[in-house]
Amino acid sequence: MTAAKPIPFLDLKAQQARIAADLRRRLDTVLEHCQFILGPEVRELEEALATFCGAKHCVSVSSGTDALQIAMMAENIGRGDAVFLPAFTYTATAEVPLVLGATPVFVDVDPRTFQIDPAHLTARIEQVLAEGKLRPRALIGVDLFGQPADWPALTDIARRFNLITIDDLAQSFGGSLHGVMLGTQADATATSFFPSKSLGAYGDAGALFTESAERAELYRSLRTHGEGKTRYEVLRTGMNGRMDSIQAAVLLSKLTVFPEELRARERIARIYDQRLGNVVTTPARVPDSSSAWAIYAILLKDGTERDRIQAALKDEGVPTAIYYPRPLHRQPAYQGHHDGAALPVSEDVAQRILALPIHPDLTEADVERICQAVVTASRL
């Protein structure tokens, strides 16, 4: 028996077909003016993104990782500073503090929403203070998989311990909390437009959002080698962190269909919730929020069941992914920087989690096929 054609985990070709004419027009304009870096599209995009998020300032940059780095450079985060972040996230969140000489302090996550656990965060800050070796400077709230972290709690903790708040929005651009688009919850918000994110470019790109004019000015300087009012005045050590006009053109075009894509992802998530809620553990919703559904992750009973179901789905042409098979404190690069605190939820979730396809170009038949395959595989 020949298996049916595999369903794509992400279908950038189908998405491209929906915006083809507008995309070509915008790319042709860039080819006409030849201002390939920080061209007019970049400024237009920054305004459109700021409006979309309701943020005062948007500064576009070259990637989500560079956005995090610029946010931390602007606060002079470095040697001796503790930066608190979840152990269950993408590597970039921990990499940036280390690159700047600071120390990541790993915090466990909530077992149902997978977001950083505020109670454990408080305990970790108190532990660092009691040890007296590092200075607590910043917390990075990662909005994981499309949903927001618990920003009201994180903001209270940051006030109490005088920490800078950084929102790693790389996976959740387009999500909201209490009816407000994400982008204004923290002192600095860093997002990514890597092609597979909720809003993706055709290469690397990212952005910073802030309500502070001073911070926005610093970000603009830092992304261009620390330049001052004139190009050859160097005020501070910066980096090359600028966005390409071609990426801005792609993002402007994709932004025109982004709201309907978010609605399509939400529709699919609801079907998964209904069809699979009694079969596997479907993702818990963060209260009073909406998800950008970059990732729809289910939990299985244990690692053996997860691997078995993943293999069975693959045989049915249903691709899956594991975000993340290892929490960061268990990574070879980071374990030496970990103080040894127990992070049992991150370790448990890494064993049992599995992401199903969720993108706006899945057809109803695809979604039905995925649900059927999960139901069948879970009964084997």
Ligand X SMILES: *Cc1c(COP(=O)(O)O)cnc(C)c1O
Residues engaged in binding ligand X (CB under 6 A): 63-65, 89-90, 92-93, 142, 168, 170-171, 192, 194, 204, 206
CB of 4 to ligand X, least distance (A): 31
CB of 240 to ligand X, least distance (A): 14
Q: What does the alpha-carbon distance between residue 333 and residue 226 come to, in Å, rounded to a whole number?
A: 29
**Of 142 and 374, which has the nearer Cβ to ligand X?**
142
Q: Are strands 81-86 and 353-356 parallel, antiparallel or unpaired?
A: unpaired
Q: Give the nearest residue (CB) to ligand X.
A: 64
**Of 89 and 290, which has the nearer Cβ to ligand X?**
89
The pair of structure tokens assigned to 354 is 């599995």
**Of 90 and 293, which has the nearer Cβ to ligand X?**
90
CB of 89 to ligand X, least distance (A): 5
**Of 171 and 253, which has the nearer Cβ to ligand X?**
171
**Of 104 and 305, which has the nearer Cβ to ligand X?**
104
Closest CA to 157 of 128, 179, 131, 177: 128
CB of 137 to ligand X, least distance (A): 19
CB of 317 to ligand X, least distance (A): 26
**Of 171 and 291, which has the nearer Cβ to ligand X?**
171
**Of 167 and 361, which has the nearer Cβ to ligand X?**
167
The pair of structure tokens assigned to 188 is 């600095």
The pair of structure tokens assigned to 170 is 């790389």
Q: What does the alpha-carbon distance between residue 286 and residue 345 come to, in Å, rounded to a whole number?
A: 17
CB of 3 to ligand X, least distance (A): 31
Burial class (CB in 10 A: 0-12, 13-18, 19+), 175: buried
226-259 per-residue burial string, b: 16 or more CB within 10 A, e: under 16: bbeeeeeeeeeebbebbbbbbbbbbbbbbbeebe
CB of 275 to ligand X, least distance (A): 27
